Amino acid sequence: MSGAATSIERVKRTRVFVAALLVACACSAAGVEPRDAGDATGSIDAATVDHVVDGDTAWFVLAGGGKEKVRLIGVDTPETTIRHDPYGEEASAYTRGILTTGRTVWLELDVDHHDRYQRLLAYVWIVEPATGTPDEARAGMLNAMLLSQGWGRLLTVPPNVAYVSLFVELQREARTARRGLWAA
């Protein structure tokens, strides 16, 4: 490997380390301990997809009735509603391809249930989770899949940090493999 390539890899590893450190510091400042995958504190309830807004937001019909706008926890995709960011259309298309209207999904809540815009915050499972392990999340949780495919970036807002370690790893893998928005 050339000296320049080695330096670039060192910078990438440093950025991942700094991101993880910032998450840890934010959690500490908020008095929250990062938890391991599967430690979300909320319930897991079935819902039906109504429609997708963009890569990280969709409307669902809840099992108990009523409709909720849901923001995916832990991932931020490029914008396509107010402004059009690079790779935003691709991220939205990826989410639309998975969250087809009428599909049953499972919404897993964490500590904070709503954001400042009154959107429900959730991990969206496309396969009903049995254990919530990292391997299960990689294959069946939309939040993790967006990061793994490179269509979003890690966005950690304590205290909702149940899968933060996995999400840091997935973003690192996507970036290293130059998937999605990391391809440029």
71 is catalytic: yes
Per-residue exposure over 61-75, b if at least 16 CB sit within 10 Å of its own CB, e if not: eeeeeeebbbbbbbb
Those residues whose C-beta lies under 8 Å from the C-beta of residue 68, and which sit 6 or more positions away, are 47, 59, 60, 62, 119, 120
Catalytic residue, chosen from 68, 96, 119, 136, is: 119
- 153 in Cβ contact with 182 (< 8 Å): no
C-alpha 100: how far from chain center: 18
Catalytic residue, chosen from 35, 71, 153, 175, is: 71
Report the catalytic residues: 71, 79, 119
